[in-house]
Amino acid sequence: MSQTATQTIETHHEDMIHDAQLDYYSRRLATASSDHTIKIFDVDGDSQRLVETLTGHEAPVWQVSWAHPKFGSILASCSYDGRVFIWKEQNGTWSRIKEHNVHTASVNSVSWAPHELGAMLACASSDGKVSVLEYKDDGSWETYVIDAHGIGCNAVTWAPAAIPGSLVQANGGAPTISVVKKLVSAGCDNLIKIWGWREDTKSWQEEETLEGHSDWVRDVSWAPSIGLPKSYLASCSQDKTVLIWTQNSPNSKWTKKLLGEKFPDVVWRVSWSLSGNVLAVSCGDNKVTLWKEDSKGEWECVQQLEEDH
């Protein structure tokens, strides 16, 4: 998960910013705007400098996502125009290395897989499908398409690559970690679905459907693994609620808990801190709240931030 920028950026966009993501080292900021552009800034302390404006989308750009630096300086963008672009910077010049055109409606979310899985990008669209693009060693891209949510998909994200609690000592040797390929998607059918990759059939299979929201699920976020056997998911919805889903061990049932009370407005985004134990919630009232679990397993609001506009 990328960190979201907290400093105020003079973004030079004519219109509304839909997303802002810092790269892995927090040295670059990419913004996605309703003016169809993506802007790249160099960030140095409190100052930032516009270095590039990427054009090519023909409608508002909803989200941007940086790949892990081991793959180079690579950014994905998705737009209401139904397209996903992958951009690469080499020697100070940005170029578009891939145009992904399988969707027939707005692409609402793009998310890179954990780097251990290779260069893989998941995309969620209003056409109800989730697509996965995988970069192959020969320079080609392979595409997989999942029929995810009948009436539209709002968000997609990945599970951590290591199964919680999978760090086991094998015969006194080095610990081995089982690597997993799992996605989670959020739909306009009010459902959250977890998908697992099946090596035998070379396909994505639905493993679990989580029901709990009474309106569109806007975003979903899987917490980074912090060495506990538990898995945590957060989901937020048009129904003005955030749910925390917990799985105590890899094969047990998911249980849900309401975060606080109902929020005053639609909840648009949920994102976990890199250490996995603080949840940021972005609400339609322009407030961001930070939440933490106490020793009794109760979630409490530890900070409220006002977003400047």
- pLDDT tens digits, residue range 64-84? 999 999 999 999 999 999 999
Q: What's the pLDDT score for residue 165? A: 59
User: Is the pLDDT reported for residue 43 higher than 70?
Assistant: yes
* pTM (predicted TM-score): 0.89
Q: Output the DSSP codes for the chain.
A: -PPBP-S------SS-EEEEEE-TTSSEEEEEETTS-EEEEEEETTEEEEEEEE---SS-EEEEEEPPGGG-EEEEEEETTS-EEEEEEETTEEEEEEEE---SS-EEEEEEPPGGG-SEEEEEETTSEEEEEEE-TTS-EEEEEEE--TT-EEEEEE--SBPTT--EE-TTSSEE--B--EEEEEETTSEEEEEEEETTTTEEEEEEEEE--SS-EEEEEEPPP-SSS-EEEEEEETTS-EEEEEESSTTSPEEEEE-SS--SS-EEEEEE-TTS-EEEEEETTSEEEEEEE-TTS-EEEEEEEEPP-
Q: Give pLDDT tens digits for 44-54.
A: 888 889 999 99
User: Is the pLDDT reported for residue 1 higher than 70?
Assistant: no
Name the nearest CA neighbour of 184 among 144, 155, 143.
155
Q: If you average pLDDT over residues 290-304, what whole number do you get?
A: 92
The better pLDDT of the pair 141, 176 is held by 141
User: Is the pLDDT reported for residue 203 higher than 90?
Assistant: yes
pLDDT band (50, 70, 90) for residue 164 = low
* Cα-Cα end-to-end distance for the chain: 24
Name the nearest CA neighbour of 55 among 34, 76, 39, 75.
39
Long-range contacts of the stretch 26-30 (C-beta < 8 A, 24+): 28/66, 28/73, 29/5, 30/64, 30/66, 30/75
> What is the chain's mean pLDDT, rounded?
89
Q: Give pLDDT tens digits for 186-199.
A: 999 999 999 999 99
Give 221's strand partners: 234
Q: What's the pLDDT score for residue 4? A: 43
Q: What's the pLDDT score for residue 12? A: 53
Q: If you average pLDDT over residues 276-304, what whole number do you get?
A: 91
Cβ burial 171-203 (10 Å sphere, 16+ → b, else e):
eeeeeeeeebbbbbbbbbbbbbbbbebeeeeee
Q: Give pLDDT tens digits for 233-247.
A: 999 999 999 999 999
CA distance 202 to 144: 9
Give 148's strand partners: none
Alpha carbon 175 to chain centroid, angstroms: 29
